[in-house]
Every structure is written in C-alpha cells, then in structure tokens.
Amino acid sequence: MTEESDPDGEWPPAAMEIDTSVAHSARVYDYWLGGKDNFAADREAAERVLAATPGLRQRVRANRAFLVRSVRWLAGSAGTRQFLDIGTGIPSANNTHEVAQAVAPESRIVYVDNDPIVLLHARSLLTSRSEGKTDYIPADLREPEQILARAGQSLDLSQPVAVLLLGILHLIEDHDDPWGIVARLMAAVPSGSYVAISHPASDVAPGQLEGQRRYNERVATPQTLRGRAAVARFFEGLELVAPGLVQVHQWRPDPDDDPPPGFVSAHGGVARKP
C-alpha cells in the first residue's frame, strides 16, 4: 500500500467535510450499483432518474462490466502495465487494480477523482500486489496537466499508459471542451498507449433526456448525455480496437453474457494511439 496522496500522514484528512445535503455523482452511481455509501439526497436524486429511465440500473452494471472486460483485455492481449483511471468513483467489486493485477501483478494504477467521499474510501483503492503499485490523486478532469504531473510520480509516462475515462465525460459540459481534454491527455502519453471510454447515450433509450433533466435538478455536477457521433469525436486520431465504437455490453462480451432482448447501454470503445 502507498499513502503518497496523503503527505501529512492523516487518512482521511481531518478537515475534510462531506456535504450530504446535495447529491453527488459518485454517490448516486454507488446507489445505482447497489452500494451503501450514499445519503438521502443521493438516493432521492437516483430514484427520480430511475423513474424516468427504466433499465438504468442494468445499464450502470453493464458499464461496470465493460470496465472489467476492457481492463482485462488491456492487461492481457494489449500487454499494458500502466493504468490512469480518471473518475474512479466509490470503490466497488472488481476495481481496476484488482482486474489488472489479476492478469499482470506488476501493473501500476493511478486513480483520480474529485469527490471527497471517494478519498474517504481511497485506502481500499491503494491495496496493491507487492509486484505492482497503486496511487490516488484528488483532482478534477478539467485540469489534465495537473493530473499528468501527479500521475508521473507513480507512472512512467514515457511508456504506454491506458487512460480510463469510464462514465465520467458526460459530467464535463460542452463549454469545458471534453474533446480537447481527452486530446490533451492522449498527447501527453506515448505511442502504444490506449484510451477506454464509456459515455451515457442520449440516442439509444426512451426517457434518457428526461432522466438527464431530473438528474441535473438534484445533483451538484450536471450531466450532458451525448449521441454516438459526439462520442466518436473522442477517438479522433486514434485507432479503435475491434469491435469499434459500440454499446458497452457489445464490446467483447464474455461467452456467458446474455443481455435481455432489446437491451441498450452506453456508447463505448477502446482505442490505441498510433
């Protein structure tokens, strides 16, 4: 275990305050996954969205399963040994370091999130195989250079890195240029690096935009759902890995995966920097 993210030795920082009166995205997502690290405001917001978007819980779980399959592929077939997981969320089953180090114990993982409650749980994200390493950075995706500078203390950014942006880019509004943020991240890593992206879709299921409206009424960080063409822009200049940009439950499904008829999920894909 490493506590490099806590230079003063306090874990968590004693002065940390958690605002439980306003819903936060990591805690809402935790509730949808069936977790218990959420408060009344989070549960109220989550239920309002569920009422407008039937099947949302299943789509959230499909996104988590995409994390498992993509990280397993990156650590296995792609031979990736370094992972930068931005928008980590509250720890759940099959966190990135657990999946990657099960394939390659020497893998190094840096987690990034800006929700203080995630920091409260960061100890469980910092349990590493002895051959590898994990670290946690409290930072905002809107400041990619800061993230990269801190990540460079644990990762060798001259060697390939897998950048994971799973269920996070919809929390960056258009005026903050999420496409530019992804481009800046990928410009800083070498050829042979990868990016994995999942993004809630505005164009695959009824009720999605109404769900977005209800979510934005209650949650501190608004979300912007996007269609397939807008998500495809994140991969410009990169080489998409087969099967390309698909709904996440369709990306290299396991043999025993059996989604119900008509099931839809987020847009997602994995791409390599040439």
Q: Which residues pair with 109 in a beta bridge?
A: 83, 134
Reading the block at residue 12, the tokens are 């968590």
Reading the block at residue 174, the tokens are 């258009």
Dihedral sign, Cα of residue 17, residue 155, residue 8, residue 98:
positive
Classified as helix, coil or strand, 174 is: helix
Q: Where is pLDDT greater, at 60 or 35?
A: 60
For residues 80, 189, 232, 87, the Cα torsion angle rounded to the nearest 10 degrees is 80
Q: Who's near 48: CB < 8 A, 6+ residues apart?
A: 214, 215, 217, 218
Q: What is the pLDDT of residue 108?
A: 98
Q: Is the pTM of this model over 0.95?
A: no
Tens-digit pLDDT profile for residues 117-137? 788 777 777 888 899 999 999
Tens-digit pLDDT profile for residues 77-91? 999 999 999 998 877
Decide if pLDDT at 5 tops 70. no
Q: What are the structural domain ranges in the chain?
A: 57-204+226-272
Q: Please compute Rg for the chain using Cα positions.
A: 18
- Mean pLDDT for 25-48 is 76
Q: Are 267 and 165 in contact (CB under 8 A)?
A: no
- The DSSP secondary structure of 183-194, one letter per residue, reads HHHHHTS-TT-E
Q: Where is pLDDT greater, at 180 or 203?
A: 180
Q: What is the pLDDT of residue 15?
A: 44
Q: What is the pLDDT of residue 11?
A: 41
Residue type, 203: D
The CATH number corresponding to 57-204+226-272 among 1.10.3720.10, 3.10.129.10, 3.40.50.150, 3.40.190.10 equals 3.40.50.150
- Mean pLDDT for 8-31 is 59
Q: What is the pLDDT of residue 9?
A: 42
Q: Are 56 and 42 in contact (CB under 8 A)?
A: no
- Mean pLDDT for 156-180 is 97
Q: What percent of the chain has pLDDT over 90?
A: 57
Q: Where is pLDDT greater, at 102 or 216?
A: 102
CA atoms of 46 and 215, how far apart (whole Å): 7
Phi, psi (deg, nearest 5) at residue 9: 85, -5
